[in-house]
């Protein structure tokens, strides 16, 4: 019996040492890796014969003015007020563009006499004016692999667009993550997917901040399209920064394929992708959205909502592309799982009051908060694009 007891003790000790070794040597990733293009990002304007770059600002009387952007250097934009080209006074950039005679600019007639300058930080958000938008998940293959997702999914995102120079708020205990995306808005309400082709389309750069606590606590990792977690995690003040420019291209497919989007945090590169990498292009995303407008299956603030409240895609709604690889969130490591199992057993295991999943979620969140992998007050998030301008967001407490 002594021999058996000693063998058992030795075996238990070896097992304990092995578990401790697995815990000590567990990786602790700071964020997901990403691939980057060899050439640094060069911000410029799309040629006028290929696309019209618009921006908006408020004048001294508080009126919204729409301009065609002709140049940008060092945070200063040079443009032409569309009212000088015959447009009426309107807050709608598509309406202003439709009423303006831009042939003089295209022929380069009187362009110098019509131009004026304005700082980028004075420009209004390029995003649509509503507070209900269509978010997209795992629409870039590498990010789908990061998230262990096999399909593109959509969800309602709530919140007003903020400007290209903005702040985003966090709080102690919150795992705040970034995403850079491409976005589209339309000059009219879409009541059927067939109207995508006839609508005038404007594209802009956007950010999509995420409260990862809500995703960890609510989302079903085996079914990201369950309707749980994403609306709560991605809706909130400051969570939807938009770039300075709204670009209306002649050939939207060719334009989006060439658009590059990047993210850096405190000048450390995190994301780098092209629109051509999207699994579903914007037409495909609109078609997908119209297949999921009838049932209020998305949990948001303890109630259930539809993808769009009207069953249409209003002109006030933005459709988002989804993001590329390189976000902060990574799944629990074996160290997290070992700690969660130990905490679960210490609380009584199957005989305790809390499930293993509940303990595991709480342990994982605590470890991630302690590791300070996520955005912290004082961090600067920079989203860039070759044709859509850039976004600079400062994280504040």
List, for residues 144-166, the tens digit of each pLDDT value.
998 888 899 999 999 999 999 99
> What six digits make up the tokens of 251?
């050939």
List, for residues 246-305, the tens digit of each pLDDT value.
999 999 999 999 999 999 999 999 999 999 999 999 999 999 999 999 999 999 999 999
How far apart CA 80 and CA 101 sit, in angstroms, is 12
In the chain, where the domains are located: 51-122, 132-331+373-396
How far apart CA 73 and CA 316 sit, in angstroms, is 30
List, for residues 52-96, the tens digit of each pLDDT value.
999 999 999 999 999 999 999 989 999 999 999 999 899 999 999
How far apart CA 214 and CA 378 sit, in angstroms, is 23
**Are 334 and 26 contacting, i.e. CB atoms less than 8 angstroms apart?**
yes
List, for residues 91-148, the tens digit of each pLDDT value.
999 999 999 998 877 766 556 667 889 999 999 999 999 999 999 999 999 999 988 8
Res 170: pLDDT:
96
Angle, CA 32 vertex, CA 263 and CA 289 arms, to 5°? 70
End-to-end CA distance of the chain: 62
- For 132-331+373-396, CATH number out of 3.30.310.50, 3.40.50.300, 3.90.850.10, 3.40.1050.10 equals 3.90.850.10
C-alpha distances in Å from residue 148, one per residue of 61, 84, 278, 330: 51, 52, 17, 11
**Are 274 and 328 contacting, i.e. CB atoms less than 8 angstroms apart?**
no
């Amino acid at each position: 019996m002594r021999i058996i007891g000693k063998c058992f003790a030795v075996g238990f000790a070896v097992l304990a040492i092995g578990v401790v070794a697995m815990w000590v040597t567990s990786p602790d990733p700071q964020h997901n890796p990403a691939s980057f293009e060899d050439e640094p990002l060069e911000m410029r304007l799309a040629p006028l014969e290929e696309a019209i770059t618009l921006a908006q600002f408020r004048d001294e009387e508080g009126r919204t003015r729409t301009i065609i952007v002709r140049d940008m250097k060092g945070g200063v934009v040079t443009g032409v007020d569309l009212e000088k080209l015959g447009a009426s006074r309107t807050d709608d950039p598509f309406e202003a563009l439709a009423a303006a005679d831009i042939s003089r600019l295209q022929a380069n007639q009187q362009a110098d006499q019509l131009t004026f300058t304005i700082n980028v930080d004075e420009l209004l958000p390029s995003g649509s004016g509503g507070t209900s938008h269509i978010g997209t998940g795992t629409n870039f293959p590498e990010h789908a692999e990061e998230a262990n997702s096999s399909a593109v999914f959509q969800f309602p995102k709530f919140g007003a667009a903020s400007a290209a120079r903005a702040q985003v708020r966090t709080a102690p205990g919150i795992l705040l993550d970034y995403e850079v995306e491409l976005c589209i808005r339309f000059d009219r309400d879409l009541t059927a997917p067939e109207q995508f082709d006839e609508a005038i389309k404007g594209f802009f750069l956007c950010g999509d901040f995420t409260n990862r606590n809500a995703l960890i606590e609510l989302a079903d990792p085996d079914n990201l399209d369950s309707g749980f977690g994403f609306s709560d995690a991605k809706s909130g003040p400051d969570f939807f920064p938009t770039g300075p420019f709204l670009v209306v291209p002649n050939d939207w497919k060719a334009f989006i394929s060439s658009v590059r989007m990047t993210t850096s945090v405190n000048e450390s590169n995190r994301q780098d992708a092209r629109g051509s990498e999207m699994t579903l292009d914007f037409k495909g995303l609109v078609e997908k959205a119209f297949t999921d407008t009838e049932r209020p299956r998305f949990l948001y603030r303890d109630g259930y909502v539809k993808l769009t409240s009207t069953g249409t895609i209003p002109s006030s709604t933005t459709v988002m592309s989804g993001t590329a690889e390189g976000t902060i969130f990574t799944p629990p490591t074996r160290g997290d799982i070992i700690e969660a199992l130990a905490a679960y057993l210490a609380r009584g295991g199957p005989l305790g009051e809390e499930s293993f999943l509940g303990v595991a979620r709480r342990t994982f969140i605590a470890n991630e908060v302690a590791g300070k992998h996520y955005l912290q007050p004082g961090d600067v998030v920079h989203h860039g694009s070759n044709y859509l301008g850039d976004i600079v967001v400062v994280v504040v407490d």
